[in-house]
Chains A and B, each alone.
Chain A
């Protein structure tokens, strides 16, 4: 019988710590040189780094799969990816508020992926993963608020994608190229968003319809990450047990 992991155990690289550390060092070094010496954009350097650590990190997930089963492995991956995603939003916030950069230069570490299609696919993929996890034991008092939160977040990205497609079609009719600013149209919440345009009284509520997109999505992700951690912590032992029972039943 496998001992149920704690959250920290799940997130640790364990036997893969040294390969990940070496790959990270090489990745950081190469990315740093490429950015500072070869004028590679930050997003290019970030992709180099992610490429360098891809193999040892993938091996860590294979370990998770073998030890604790598919659900825990997926949860582990989700925590890591969503954690990086949240870090991306923190960087955006720092760029915007602390470094006082304009929105077009406050797009995080992988700015070229800061496009509506990526946000849309990312959020609904995460949504799909969560549905899978819920069907495989991730059920706790925190799971349902987490699920509701991320569903609403995904709807916001759907609304933004539809707006983007609408504007893109209009730009196409005008024979105009697709502009970067079309990617940063407001959503349902935030400054100039649907709520602000359709329910004027909301404009006086601080935050809800006054914050810029960069801050709104920071809060969406901070909320999502917090609820995910709480749900995962609560449900992890049950998930491992469910996986064990299933494998026992198969045997």
Chain B
């Protein structure tokens, strides 16, 4: 009852605080070529933090990603992804969980961490299954978020949002190359959403056997959106991709494309320019079996770091080392001093003259058999923490273990002004074999919660109950263009404690799709000076003195 009253009060306050028409047209950039554009903003207060604890509270969901039981389904061990976004515009972020041998789940957020489960069923009464990556994105630019899946085999499917919690399944015309991973973004900065897909050929070969050779292969494809029609441009003819990310590798302000491959196939790096993509190699040391990518400005110094997950156990746990031993025996067999690749996580850090891998120095190089890793300010102290999900179930490689399962705890690293330290008191050390994972504020209380899609174990939500600090959340909209949610925008929050920045990326981690709502945390007493929005076309908008503990809805009208 109290919570209900609190909600009513919050809604009332929200309505009364509607501020429309804050327009600031003032360039803050030293680059005179940058265009400043007008915005509209709406401000509403976030919910009060009603529960306080030292860490997170676990909620088990009524969804379990099931692997197929057949011998051929060896790559079902890779599990499925998860997406979080507000699909019904009720102000609460909903959850979409991929699945393999069972149905995909759409969990409508009812508030207070209660969810109503729905399966996605098409007109032929067939439920969506066998999915890998999940994305929630406005594909047809009608401002409603649609749901997109990649599959174990075959092309992607789209579930168009019809409103009123109704979806219609469709395929995307011209998008037909088998895809395991996908990335939605305005890659060519023309105001609409392009698509990058990439295949996991080992899986296709296992599924399709010899017929895979006759299909013309797969690989990485850039689908450029031209007035709603996707034109394919194949970047590679083969791939073992588990992760894709847009990341500015050469610090030229233009985000580039990174393709992360498994099985010692080196990751590939594509520089983005007005004339198209060209390959490059910006890193001296990279992961060997890239499982996931995420990026963040971990020390608030103005440049984003790139984190990639791989498989390496921590050598201070000898029980775990023994379980890894047969696998390590093979993995380390060919490890050479001069090898570009190494089976360990990397944290690529910009030094001003190139990148340096700082994962070992930060003690985050060995986190287990790691899949999704995400950055987020979990304790609202102004610095983004790191959470990594772990575990493996594999009938082939781990047949010597009970239930073929390598059980490992997820890892939490608290960020102390740019330095990570292992955090074990937040109740996030679950060992449920996580795969896809995202962070999002599910109850609008200014704290980032965590959603994990596990394999063979119920999916989990970890409700953030840490009461440190304050926060600001921002939701971007861009009207009159087809990138309606402004994907690719970078937000810079100028505060008395320094400048923080966030990037609006649809995909990060492993097979997972982020909420469109961005979160900033900061210590209590921090003064918020201004917020800059760096739109994907290079234009900048500025909002002076944003209010702490509020949700800002910022809209830009046209402007391409």
Binding site for B on A (CB under 8 A): 96-97, 100-104, 163, 166-167, 170-171, 174-176, 179-182, 185-186, 191-194, 196-198, 200, 203-204, 210, 212
Contacts and interface: CB of A to CB of B under 8 A. Distances in A.
Contact of B332 (A102, A196, A210): A102
Nearest to B401: A174
A174 B400 CA distance: 7
Task: Specify which of A166, A175, A185, A200 lies most central, judged by the most chain B CB atoms within 10 Å of its CB.
Answer: A200
Given A100-B336, A103-B332, A194-B316, A167 B322 contact: yes
B1 interface: no
B22 interface: no
Contact of A200 (B329, B336, B363): B363
Nearest to B335: A102
A179 B325 contact: yes
Interface string B331-358: 0111111100000000000000000000
Contact of B361 (A97, A197, A204): A204
29 contacts: A100-B336, A100-B337, A103-B332, A104-B332, A104-B333, A163-B318, A166-B318, A167-B318, A167-B322, A167-B325, A170-B321, A170-B322, A170-B323, A171-B325, A174-B400, A175-B400, A176-B400, A179-B325, A179-B328, A180-B329, A181-B328, A185-B321, A192-B315, A193-B315, A194-B316, A203-B361, A203-B362, A203-B363, A204-B361
B334 A102 contact: yes
Closest 7 A/B residue pairs (Cβ): A170-B322, A197-B316, A192-B315, A166-B318, A179-B329, A200-B363, A179-B325
B366 A97 contact: no
A110 to B, nearest CB: 21
Contacts of B318: 163, 166-167, 170
Interface of A, helix, strand, loop or mixed by DSSP: helix
A165 to B, nearest CB: 10
A142 to B, nearest CB: 33
A179 B400 CA distance: 14
Given A176-B326, A185-B315, A210-B360, 12 more contacts: A100-B338, A101-B336, A102-B333, A170-B319, A170-B322, A176-B400, A192-B315, A196-B363, A197-B314, A197-B315, A197-B316, A212-B337
B322 A174 contact: yes
Given A171-B322, A174-B322, A181-B332, A192 B401 contact: no
B458 to A, nearest CB: 27
Contacts of B326: 176, 179
B430 interface: no
Interface of B: 314-316, 318-319, 321-323, 325-326, 328-329, 332-338, 360-363, 366, 400-401, 421
A102 B288 CA distance: 15
Contacts of B338: 100
A103 B325 contact: no
B508 to A, nearest CB: 26
A97 B337 CA distance: 6
Contacts of B421: 200
A198 B363 contact: no
A170 B323 CA distance: 8
A191 B360 CA distance: 9
Contacts of B400: 174-176
B18 to A, nearest CB: 48
Nearest to A209: B360
Given A181-B329, A185-B321, A103 B335 contact: yes
A103 B329 CA distance: 11
B51 to A, nearest CB: 32
A104 B335 CA distance: 9
Contacts of B321: 167, 170, 185
Nearest to B421: A200
Contact of A181 (B319, B323, B325, B360): B325
Contacts of B360: 191, 203, 210
Contacts of B361: 203-204
Contacts of A185: 315, 321
A110 B314 CA distance: 30
Contacts of A193: 315
Nearest to B319: A170
Nearest to B420: A200
A200 B323 CA distance: 25
Contacts of A167: 318, 321-322, 325
A193 B360 CA distance: 12
A180 B328 CA distance: 10
Contact of A186 (B315, B323, B328, B329): B315
A176 B325 contact: yes
Contacts of A104: 332-333
Contacts of A166: 318
A174 B336 CA distance: 29
Contacts of A198: 316
A58 B362 CA distance: 53
